[in-house]
Homo-oligomer: A and B are copies of this chain.
Amino acid sequence: MHSREPGRRIDEMLAKLREREFRITPQRLAILKILAASEGHPSVDDIYREVKAEFPTTSLATVYKTVSLLKELNEALELSFPDGSNRYDGNNPAPHPHAICVKCKRIMDPELMNIDALTEEMSRKTGYKIFYHELEFFGLCPECQKKN
């Protein structure tokens, strides 16, 4: 939908790491590649399994550490699922709405209008200074609707 070219996205991430003087290790590079390219909102464990294919000695702890580093640098977006598991979007790290299928877990990321207006309304009504938001819609995707 609004995915940029993978190569460009990974360069942004690398630039941010260098700028903040974090080291570029082979493990980090492998994780960045997956996050930059993935359209599928992988979980930490998904990433772990994929990284191990390319770089077998990588540990789960390293994946966790890298993913939270990217989260802090605003280069990855964390989706916290109701079941406790988290998923990550490294392709489009700005907050954006998701539609999540409660059955097959498929996620779509369409652009919606008026989110800024909503944020402004929230800020005005509460006095909060708002930094980011999470907006998730839960339901059945078209395929799972048919199967019922």
Q: Residues of A at under 8 Å CB distance from B?
A: 78, 80-82, 84, 97, 99, 101-102, 108, 110, 112-115, 117-119, 121-123, 125-142, 145
Contacts and interface: CB of A to CB of B under 8 A. Distances in A.
A138 B129 contact: no
A121 B112 contact: yes
9 contacts: A82-B134, A110-B122, A114-B117, A128-B137, A128-B141, A129-B139, A129-B140, A129-B145, A134-B135
A120 to B, nearest CB: 10
Given A110-B122, A130-B139, 14 more contacts: A97-B122, A99-B128, A101-B128, A110-B126, A112-B122, A114-B114, A122-B137, A126-B141, A128-B139, A132-B137, A132-B138, A132-B139, A135-B135, A135-B136
Contact of A127 (B82, B126, B142): B142
A130 B97 CA distance: 13
Given A99-B128, A126-B99, A137 B119 contact: yes
A121 B113 contact: yes
A121 B140 CA distance: 15
A87 to B, nearest CB: 12
A94 to B, nearest CB: 14
Nearest to A127: B142
B82 A80 contact: yes
